Amino acid sequence: MKLEKKVEKLRQALERHNRLYYVEDAPEITDAEYDALFRELQALEAEHPKLRTPDSPTQRVGGTPLAQFAEVRHRTPMLSIGNAFDEEEVRAFDKRMREALEVEQVEYAAEPKFDGLAVSLTYRHGVLAQGATRGDGTSGEDVTANLRTVHSIPLKIEEEELEVRGEVLMYRRDFDALNERQRAAGQKEYVNPRNAAAGAVRQLDSRITASRRLRFFAYALVSPSSEKTHSEALDRLEALGFPVCEERALVQGSEGLLEYYARIGGLRARLPYAIDGVVYKVNRLDWQERLGYVSRAPRFALAHKYPAEEQTTEVLGIEVQVGRTGALTPVARLKPVFVGGVTVTNATLHNESELRRKDVRIGDTVIVRRAGDVIPEVVSVRTELRPAAAAVFEFPKKCPICGSAVVKNEDEAVHRCSGGLYCPAQRKQAVLHFASRRAMNIEGLGERLVDQLVDKELVRSPADLYRLSKTDFAGLERMGDKSAGNLVAELDRSKRTTLERLIYALGIRNVGETTARDLARHFGDLEPLTRAGEDELLQVADVGPVVARSIWQFFKEPHNREAIRALRKAGVSWPKSAPAPRPAGEAKTGAVKTFVLTGTLAGMTRDAARTALEAKGHKVAGSVSKKTDFVVAGEDAGSKLERARALGVRVLEEKEFLEMLQNL
């Protein structure tokens, strides 16, 4: 019994000194004295293995390497937070909160935005049972063994069940010391504290994690509690022994938010850790629940980012990258420069208009910034340092990836590859669009599966989908025999489609569902559409010069015509028809109205609303313009509703729309 008490006393002493050193930054004993206590406990546990427990400080030391990380499904998603970059966005956020809550003023909990790795800690029966990374927000990796080595994470708490979320990071001084050791050993240095911390947490060998001086700060209590505010929840976590940021504060309204942002910005360089902004959260938890979430982010929170850091470097060359939608982006190859915590060797020039406006030339000295501390971009040119041999960059006439013609419409700043169905750079996007619900409607063919099919070169164009067998699909990740069989059946079913679906599925620039329907009605079959010139295309209802040119350019490209022939050969078919007359309602001057549907309707689907309107001879458009007559706004209406208000377009709520529909 005396031995057990001695062991427990040593553990308590070590945990106390861990907290003083790692959390409070106020050590009371020397490293040598700490090491002596640690070795004493280690020796006792080695001599009496039954006394060793999972929450002992000795168990923080890394063990044998793990073969792989298991997947952890988060009980509550670990969502990202929307960003703001200027005062107006912050004031707009505060206004949205006040209007949504119907109050005069809102109290916010404000805290620095750590530049580290988000993790979730789960305690069961008072002991750390599981630690996981954020991952994709829905599921992460089980890194419990590694997080046990982080001294500021309590292994044991005075609570039975608890889930805590926070950030693992590395102090600047510890990062500098790590890189000094790397240099001394002739090994590669780490770029920034965040990468060093994230890499350490995701090591398969937890002994490596243990060798880094990682820190943890808690920023959220997920488990249900009696606390009424976010700040009270953080106070509770601090009382339980979790490190919580000292720089947090409670502020009132937008002015309080902006004052806090300025104050922390002034302290930023002196903080022991790296931050890239501050985070604002509505303090009352019941208000947070009322406000809810939009997409993958909470409505009640906002990350206010600090201006990006800037550096000067030299443009060694300019190349183009082809994006998933065929857009050609000029990219400057730079003399390596350290900006915003990372070494930058490339920076975006956005498009030709920006390239010409900034007058960036090969050989120039330029100022580079990490926009939002993420994407490097060229801000401006130091023209006074321009060498005589600086060369102007010219866009290629052919796609550097597939050799298709590069086109640029007058209304766009972007050059595009015209080989949409053929170009490898656009392949994944083309296949995903082709399989989407309103196109060929191939259920089960999602992004992860398309990624595998393209990466393994099983699919080079949409027609290749129809050549795949059950065996081909069954050999892919997360595809069982039954799923593979279902997908083959879906593909076979999708071969019999309609002309308007097929036209939309081709992914022609500027051709949405409505235009695809108009083209199908006008031409009756695909063949006359592929042969149509721009003048003939302009005869189609609501097809203007920009859309007509996009369609003509698409069918002019031989690669796209070959991809269509391959679809026919693969068995894709559609009923042909004579060109349809315009609906009766369109014959009456001024009688045809244009509607835009947005949000979720309670009484009918948007497809049903579209069908009802078109049956009465009216149009349904995909975007709001000055020509729009009505916008029908359901629940969770988004940017289309805002644009309608900005343009003064009449907005109909569902009840008003249904009444109008009866009288049209």
Which amino acid, one-letter code, is at 122?
T
Considering its fold, how many domains does the chain have in total? Answer: 5
Q: 532 or 620, which is more confident?
A: 532
The b/e string for 51-76 (b: 16+ C-beta within 10 A; e otherwise) is: beeebbbbbbebeeebeebeebebee
Round to whole Å and give the CA distance between 51 and 564: 72
CB 86 within 8 A of CB 305: no
pTM: 0.48
Round to whole Å and give the CA distance between 315 and 330: 12
Asked whether residue 242 falls in the same domain as residue 360, the answer is no
Asked whether residue 525 falls in the same domain as residue 491, the answer is yes
The torsion angles phi and psi of 258, rounded to 5 degrees, stand at: -70, -35
Radius of gyration of the chain (CA): 30
Last residue of a domain, one of 540, 563, 580: 580
Q: Which two tokens stand for residue 415?
A: 């050059």
Round to whole Å and give the CA distance between 328 and 321: 6
Asked whether residue 319 falls in the same domain as residue 336, the answer is yes
Q: Is residue 390 part of a domain?
A: no
Q: Which domain holds residue 330?
A: 310-385
The torsion angles phi and psi of 276, rounded to 5 degrees, stand at: -120, 10
State pLDDT tens for residues 8-26: 888 888 888 877 755 454 6
Q: Which two tokens stand for residue 322?
A: 């082809």
Contacts of 620 (CB under 8 A, 6+ apart): 514, 594, 595, 596, 597, 609, 610, 613, 614
Taking 60 as the threshold, does the pLDDT of residue 165 lie above it?
yes
Round to whole Å and give the CA distance between 446 and 436: 9
State pLDDT tens for residues 362-376: 999 998 887 555 578
Asked whether residue 437 falls in the same domain as residue 363, the answer is no
Taking 60 as the threshold, does the pLDDT of residue 581 lie above it?
no
Asked whether residue 42 falls in the same domain as residue 95, the answer is no
CA nearest to 416, candidates 550, 548, 543:
550
Taking 50 as the threshold, does the pLDDT of residue 107 lie above it?
yes
pLDDT at 620: 83
pLDDT at 584: 43
Asked whether residue 133 falls in the same domain as residue 52, the answer is no
Taking 90 as the threshold, does the pLDDT of residue 318 lie above it?
yes
Residues 6, 9, 113, 358: which is the catalytic one? 113
Q: In the predicted model, what is the mean pLDDT of residues 271-291?
A: 93
pLDDT at 663: 80
pLDDT at 585: 42
Round to whole Å and give the CA distance between 143 and 132: 5
Q: Which of 2-6, 353-357, 538-542, 552-556 has the highest mean pLDDT?
A: 552-556
Asked whether residue 228 falls in the same domain as residue 291, the answer is yes
Q: At what angle do helices 87-101 and 253-267 cross, to 10 degrees?
A: 140
- The mean predicted confidence, pLDDT, of the chain is 86
Asked whether residue 569 falls in the same domain as residue 546, the answer is yes
Q: Is residue 486 part of a domain?
A: yes
In the residue annotation, 95 being an active-site residue is answered as: no
- Give how far Cα 235 sits from Cα of 87, 163, 239, 245, 431, Å: 29, 15, 6, 11, 51
Asked whether residue 128 falls in the same domain as residue 246, the answer is yes
pLDDT at 469: 93
Lowest mean per-residue pLDDT among 7-11, 148-152, 471-475, 598-602: 598-602
Q: In the predicted model, what is the mean pLDDT of residues 432-450?
A: 92
Residue 345: give its domain's CATH number: 2.40.50.140
Residue 185: give its domain's CATH number: 3.30.470.30
Lowest mean per-residue pLDDT among 27-36, 269-278, 443-452: 27-36
Last residue of a domain, one of 305, 336, 354: 305
CB 617 within 8 A of CB 611: no
Longest dimension (CA), the chain: 99
Q: In the predicted model, what is the mean pLDDT of residues 73-77?
A: 87
Taking 80 as the threshold, does the pLDDT of residue 172 lie above it?
yes
Q: In the predicted model, what is the mean pLDDT of residues 230-247?
A: 95
Last residue of a domain, one of 29, 60, 91: 60
* Percent of the chain whose predicted confidence (pLDDT) is above 90: 46
Residue 586: pLDDT band by 50, 70, 90 thresholds?
very low
In three-state secondary structure terms, 250 is: strand
pLDDT at 644: 86
Residue 459: give its domain's CATH number: 1.10.150.20
Q: 27 or 484, which is more confident?
A: 484
Asked whether residue 376 falls in the same domain as residue 521, the answer is no
Q: Is 278 left (phi over 0), alpha (psi -120 to 50) or beta?
A: beta
* Percent of the chain whose predicted confidence (pLDDT) is above 70: 92
CB 140 within 8 A of CB 168: no
Q: Is residue 456 part of a domain?
A: yes
Asked whether residue 348 falls in the same domain as residue 276, the answer is no
